[in-house]
Structure 1
Amino acid sequence: MNLGISAPTLTQQIKKLEQQLGAKLVQRRGNTHVELTEAGLRVLDRARNVLREAKEAVAVARQAARGEVGRIEVGFMPSVVWSGLVQKFIGEFQHENPGIEIFLHMMNVEEQHTALVQEELDCGFVRSPLKFPPRIAGIDVFRQPMVLAMPQQHRLAAHASIDPAELTNEIFVNPPTVFELAFWDDTRAIAALGNFIPKVEKRTHDMIMSLAYVAAGYGIAIVAKSFEKIGIPNIVFRDFVPTAAPISTVAFAYRPNNSSPAVKMLVSFMRRFALEKSTSSKAAGLPEGRLGEL
């Protein structure tokens, strides 16, 4: 027989199944002809569906093991969108791996670090720190200069570029220092170049809040150049003179011990865009080890 078992064995198995189901599945027509009952037809149809779904489950499991399907939770700072990085990195990865679902979460850097450690995020785009917290690693993938944001009516708004010495008596708006990310150090380094002690009167949750205070006239802020694309009313952005321009580096952060094949594929994908370590802090004459990799 095609089933590889004898007729008596098959008959016994059918009877056993009928006893378990409490329904007759086959009936004989003469000595040789056997046909399915209505219950038998229903069971056969469902059994075929189960077998098909089982095969699909095996295929999906194998795809998941290879990283071809899965789910990845990705965090990002607002500036990452305006820099085009979500479109460039996540969009291209999604195109290459359509079976992997990507879920994006806009968070500040501190929130991302916490979520990564607590395994609520798989990875994220953060500002590159001097040193990542335990359990987190990162790949530098993008750099851009920092610029000065000021109210439109500010006395320096007409200047093409800003010398740090011109900011001696200015009021600064700053996010708090987090995990040595040195948002404060951008201000402090500019102040060092201008030979003054910065006056910080507003500390904010993130760069968007800093810009809100700037727009309201509370002070000035040092932000990534990509924020120029937002177009917030009553704010103008000016570059620093070349010898004083801080550099902001975006890193792709992840947990090295994450066992997800899909996440491993994304980490491998992001390594294509890894940047060499910057020497811009020395070139710009900025404080050693503080700004070039921020």
Structure 2
Amino acid sequence: MAGGRRPTRANMELRHLRYFLATAEELNYGRAAERLKIAQPGLSQQIKSLEAIIGTPLFDRTRRTVQLTLAGERFEQEARKTLAQAETAVLAARRAGRGEVGSIAIGYVGSAAYTGVLTTMVGTFRASHPEVELQISEMEMQQQLDQLSEGKLDIGFIRPPIPYPVGISSIRVLQEEIVLAMPASHALAGDEMVPLASLSGDTFITPRHPSNVSFHEHTVQACQGAGFFPKLGPQGRDFVTIASMVAVGIGVALVPQSLRCIQVPGIVYKPVKGAPILAELAVAFRRTEPSPVARAFAKHARSFGQGDAKAARSDL
């Protein structure tokens, strides 16, 4: 022993417990050494070291067969508990490292719920990560991005295009067609499809977004593609509000086709004639995410959106 120091409990290692338990089960140094895949003299030395650490013999070697002493019997019970607890600790750490436990804060725009993507993605993630606590809140896109940047939110369901803060990226998880929401009393409400150019005199209602963001941008770009700049009217806080505004005749709106599930009296949804106008739903996250749980959800989103792999803005 180095420096002649007596061994202390600080010297005890898990391997000592494993060696002891194997010997206690076999009650034969040869068989125990073979089971542990170490040399018998080495096993004997490890058992002696353990006994020196504890300060009392654990095996009775005075008989022809190896037997546990009373101290050895008591130590065997506690050693099993200790090894089991150590294994539990290792498994818990591994699960945390894989993102299987913990909590995650998810934000979403209201229209994400209409598509079914939000419920499907969160539901399948919860099924595979049952011990992860999910905190889900509806909030505006800019608020989501701000909170992602500040570390207050882990995942956001948003509607691009929108400028991203530094360090924030996204993965497209859905691309859907944009349709026209118009009052049932509109002169073109009975048509099967509506040319956008025929609405150059109508007022267009958009969400409360800056001019280069999401459906405000989609509306302007689509109308300009049809040969006119839209007459923009009042803005709605969300698509349910916009649908209500359309129903009472304030104007028309370009909306995601998933909004058809909102059947407000006095509104009709019509396909836009011509090439489809498409909108995205994306999952936003931090590029250098420290949380294993949030990384696991971003990986889940990436897998969900693999059909649109070219749209992925960054790798995890």
Using structure 2 for the length normalisation, give the TM-score: 0.67
For residues 59-113 of structure 1, give each alpha carbon's deviation from its aligned partner in whole angstroms, at most 9, with x where no partner exists. Answer: 5344222322011111112222211102321111111121212221112222211
Contact map agreement 1:164 1:193 (CA 8 A) in 2 = no
Q: The residue matched to 1:162 in structure 2 has which SS?
A: coil
Q: 1:103 to 1:53 in 2, by over 3 A?
A: farther
Query: Does 1:117 pair with 2:149?
Result: yes
Query: Does 1:140 pair with 2:189?
Result: no
Partner of 2:192: 160
- Bigger mean CA deviation after superposition, 117-126 or 204-213: 204-213
Q: The residue matched to 2:279 in structure 1 has which SS?
A: strand
Indicate which of 104, 107, 114 corresponds to 1:75: 107
Provide structure 2 residue ranges, at least 5 long, that are not aligned to the other structure.
1-49, 57-80, 312-316
User: How far apart are the structure 2 equivalents of 1:57 and 1:232?
Assistant: 54
* Residue 252 of structure 1, CA deviation: 0.9
Indicate which of 185, 191, 200 corresponds to 2:223: 191
User: How far apart are the structure 1 equivalents of 2:270 and 2:255?
Assistant: 10
Q: 1:69 to 1:3 in 2, by over 3 A?
A: farther
User: How far apart are the structure 1 equivalents of 2:301 and 2:143?
Assistant: 21
Q: The residue matched to 1:89 in structure 2 has which SS?
A: helix
Q: 1:3 to 1:71 in 2, by over 3 A?
A: farther
Using structure 1 for the length normalisation, give the TM-score: 0.72
* Residue 240 of structure 1, CA deviation: 0.3
Query: Does 1:253 pair with 2:302?
Result: no
Contact map agreement 1:140 1:250 (CA 8 A) in 2 = yes
Identity %: 30
User: How far apart are the structure 1 equivalents of 2:108 and 2:51?
Assistant: 58
* Residue 57 of structure 1, CA deviation: 6.3
Structure 1 residue ranges (4+ consecutive) displaced by more than 3 angstroms after TM superposition: 1-4, 51-62, 176-180
Structure with greater Cα Rg: 2
User: How far apart are the structure 2 equivalents of 1:182 and 1:213?
Assistant: 19
User: How far apart are the structure 1 equivalents of 2:128 and 2:146?
Assistant: 29
- Bigger mean CA deviation after superposition, 171-180 or 64-73: 171-180
Partner of 1:5: 54
Partner of 1:213: 245
Q: 1:105 to 1:3 in 2, by over 3 A?
A: farther
**Cα RMSD (Å):** 2.9
* Residue 195 of structure 1, CA deviation: 2.3
User: How far apart are the structure 2 equivalents of 1:108 and 1:185?
Assistant: 16
Provide structure 1 residue ranges, at least 5 long, that are not aligned to the other structure.
8-48, 279-294
How many residue pairs are counted as aligned between the two chains? 239
Contact map agreement 2:240 2:262 (CA 8 A) in 1 = no
User: How far apart are the structure 2 equivalents of 1:158 and 1:91?
Assistant: 39
Q: The residue matched to 1:177 in structure 2 has which SS?
A: coil
Letter in 1 for 2:144: Q
Q: Which has the higher helix share?
A: 2
